[in-house]
Amino acid sequence: MSLRSIVTAFLCAIGISAQAASPQPSLADEVSAKAALAVSQLQKRAGGKLDYSEKSLVVIEEILDEASQYKDQLSKKDQDALVELIGSYILEVAHRKHGGKYLWHEKENQPVLVIGEPKFHVAIITFNKVRGRMSGDKGDNIPFFYEGFAERVKSATPGTKALYV
Protein backbone atom coordinates (compact mmCIF):
# COMPACT_ATOMS: atom_id res chain seq x y z
CA MET A 1 0.00 0.00 0.00
CA SER A 2 1.49 3.37 -0.99
CA LEU A 3 1.89 6.23 1.45
CA ARG A 4 -0.47 8.28 -0.70
CA SER A 5 -3.27 5.73 -0.30
CA ILE A 6 -2.60 5.55 3.43
CA VAL A 7 -2.89 9.34 3.69
CA THR A 8 -6.10 9.30 1.67
CA ALA A 9 -7.59 6.58 3.88
CA PHE A 10 -6.92 8.32 7.17
CA LEU A 11 -8.15 11.64 5.84
CA CYS A 12 -11.46 9.98 5.05
CA ALA A 13 -11.49 8.58 8.57
CA ILE A 14 -10.82 12.01 10.04
CA GLY A 15 -13.57 13.61 7.97
CA ILE A 16 -16.09 11.03 9.11
CA SER A 17 -15.21 11.29 12.80
CA ALA A 18 -15.08 15.08 12.68
CA GLN A 19 -18.73 15.17 11.58
CA ALA A 20 -19.98 13.03 14.44
CA ALA A 21 -21.90 15.04 17.04
CA SER A 22 -20.47 14.35 20.48
CA PRO A 23 -19.23 16.22 23.55
CA GLN A 24 -15.96 18.11 23.11
CA PRO A 25 -13.11 15.68 23.88
CA SER A 26 -10.25 16.74 26.12
CA LEU A 27 -6.92 17.67 24.55
CA ALA A 28 -5.45 14.44 25.95
CA ASP A 29 -8.27 12.47 24.31
CA GLU A 30 -7.67 14.23 20.98
CA VAL A 31 -3.92 13.56 21.02
CA SER A 32 -4.49 9.94 22.00
CA ALA A 33 -7.12 9.46 19.28
CA LYS A 34 -4.88 10.96 16.60
CA ALA A 35 -1.98 8.78 17.75
CA ALA A 36 -4.22 5.71 17.58
CA LEU A 37 -5.34 6.71 14.09
CA ALA A 38 -1.70 7.04 13.06
CA VAL A 39 -1.08 3.52 14.33
CA SER A 40 -4.11 2.07 12.55
CA GLN A 41 -3.25 3.77 9.26
CA LEU A 42 0.53 3.27 9.30
CA GLN A 43 0.90 -0.07 11.11
CA LYS A 44 1.02 -2.16 7.94
CA ARG A 45 3.71 0.10 6.43
CA ALA A 46 5.54 -0.05 9.77
CA GLY A 47 5.58 -3.84 9.78
CA GLY A 48 3.59 -3.96 13.01
CA LYS A 49 6.27 -2.02 14.92
CA LEU A 50 4.17 0.97 16.04
CA ASP A 51 3.78 0.00 19.69
CA TYR A 52 4.27 3.41 21.36
CA SER A 53 7.81 2.46 22.36
CA GLU A 54 10.76 4.79 22.01
CA LYS A 55 12.31 2.36 19.54
CA SER A 56 9.23 2.68 17.29
CA LEU A 57 10.35 6.24 16.54
CA VAL A 58 12.98 4.77 14.20
CA VAL A 59 10.10 3.48 12.06
CA ILE A 60 8.42 6.91 12.25
CA GLU A 61 11.68 8.39 10.96
CA GLU A 62 11.62 5.95 8.02
CA ILE A 63 7.99 6.80 7.25
CA LEU A 64 8.74 10.53 7.29
CA ASP A 65 11.77 10.01 5.06
CA GLU A 66 9.52 8.21 2.60
CA ALA A 67 6.79 10.86 2.93
CA SER A 68 9.32 13.59 2.12
CA GLN A 69 9.63 12.10 -1.36
CA TYR A 70 5.87 12.55 -1.96
CA LYS A 71 5.30 15.77 -0.02
CA ASP A 72 4.83 17.90 -3.13
CA GLN A 73 2.09 15.56 -4.36
CA LEU A 74 0.04 16.12 -1.19
CA SER A 75 -2.21 19.10 -0.62
CA LYS A 76 -1.43 21.40 2.31
CA LYS A 77 -4.48 19.94 4.11
CA ASP A 78 -3.14 16.39 3.64
CA GLN A 79 0.33 17.42 4.80
CA ASP A 80 -1.11 19.09 7.90
CA ALA A 81 -3.18 16.00 8.70
CA LEU A 82 -0.14 13.74 8.43
CA VAL A 83 1.88 16.12 10.63
CA GLU A 84 -0.86 16.06 13.27
CA LEU A 85 -1.16 12.28 13.27
CA ILE A 86 2.55 11.54 13.45
CA GLY A 87 3.20 14.44 15.83
CA SER A 88 0.48 13.10 18.12
CA TYR A 89 2.00 9.62 17.98
CA ILE A 90 5.36 11.03 19.14
CA LEU A 91 3.67 12.94 21.96
CA GLU A 92 1.84 9.79 23.04
CA VAL A 93 5.13 7.83 23.08
CA ALA A 94 6.53 10.49 25.43
CA HIS A 95 3.38 10.56 27.56
CA ARG A 96 3.33 6.79 28.02
CA LYS A 97 7.00 6.75 28.99
CA HIS A 98 7.22 9.88 31.16
CA GLY A 99 3.67 10.86 32.12
CA GLY A 100 2.89 14.56 32.24
CA LYS A 101 -0.04 16.57 31.01
CA TYR A 102 -1.12 17.99 27.69
CA LEU A 103 -1.62 21.72 27.33
CA TRP A 104 -2.19 23.92 24.30
CA HIS A 105 0.81 25.97 23.16
CA GLU A 106 -0.87 29.15 21.91
CA LYS A 107 2.15 30.60 20.11
CA GLU A 108 2.88 27.39 18.18
CA ASN A 109 -0.84 26.48 17.85
CA GLN A 110 -0.33 22.84 18.79
CA PRO A 111 -0.39 20.53 21.81
CA VAL A 112 2.54 20.49 24.18
CA LEU A 113 3.35 17.72 26.66
CA VAL A 114 4.62 19.11 29.97
CA ILE A 115 6.45 16.79 32.36
CA GLY A 116 7.61 17.25 35.94
CA GLU A 117 5.51 20.13 37.22
CA PRO A 118 5.68 21.65 39.73
CA LYS A 119 9.20 20.40 40.59
CA PHE A 120 10.59 21.02 37.10
CA HIS A 121 9.22 21.76 33.64
CA VAL A 122 10.39 19.83 30.59
CA ALA A 123 8.06 20.14 27.61
CA ILE A 124 7.93 18.93 24.03
CA ILE A 125 6.04 20.01 20.94
CA THR A 126 6.36 17.87 17.84
CA PHE A 127 4.42 19.22 14.87
CA ASN A 128 7.17 21.59 13.69
CA LYS A 129 9.79 18.85 13.90
CA VAL A 130 7.58 16.42 11.95
CA ARG A 131 6.86 19.10 9.34
CA GLY A 132 10.58 19.79 8.97
CA ARG A 133 11.41 16.10 8.62
CA MET A 134 8.60 15.59 6.13
CA SER A 135 10.10 18.47 4.14
CA GLY A 136 13.24 16.39 3.73
CA ASP A 137 15.41 17.98 6.42
CA LYS A 138 17.41 15.07 7.84
CA GLY A 139 18.53 17.43 10.62
CA ASP A 140 15.01 17.09 12.03
CA ASN A 141 15.74 13.46 12.89
CA ILE A 142 12.90 12.25 15.13
CA PRO A 143 14.77 9.63 17.25
CA PHE A 144 17.61 12.11 17.91
CA PHE A 145 15.14 14.85 18.86
CA TYR A 146 13.22 12.54 21.18
CA GLU A 147 16.39 11.16 22.76
CA GLY A 148 17.50 14.69 23.72
CA PHE A 149 14.11 15.35 25.28
CA ALA A 150 14.05 12.03 27.18
CA GLU A 151 17.55 12.59 28.55
CA ARG A 152 16.56 16.05 29.75
CA VAL A 153 13.52 14.61 31.54
CA LYS A 154 15.71 12.00 33.27
CA SER A 155 18.34 14.54 34.33
CA ALA A 156 16.00 17.40 35.28
CA THR A 157 16.62 19.04 38.62
CA PRO A 158 14.31 21.31 40.59
CA GLY A 159 13.82 24.57 38.71
CA THR A 160 14.69 23.14 35.28
CA LYS A 161 12.67 24.78 32.50
CA ALA A 162 13.10 23.44 28.98
CA LEU A 163 10.96 23.32 25.84
CA TYR A 164 11.91 20.96 23.01
CA VAL A 165 10.68 22.29 19.67
pLDDT for residue 24: 80
pLDDT for residue 46: 95
Q: Could you read off the pLDDT of 96-111 as tens digits, one per residue?
A: 999 999 999 999 999 9
Q: Could you read off the pLDDT of 1-48 as tens digits, one per residue?
A: 566 666 555 555 544 333 444 578 999 999 999 999 999 999 999 999
**For residues 110-142, b (16+ Cβ closer than 10 Å) or e, as one string?**
bbbbebbeeebbbbbbbbebbbbbbeeeeebbb
Q: Is 119 helix (H, G, I), strand (E, B) or coil?
A: coil
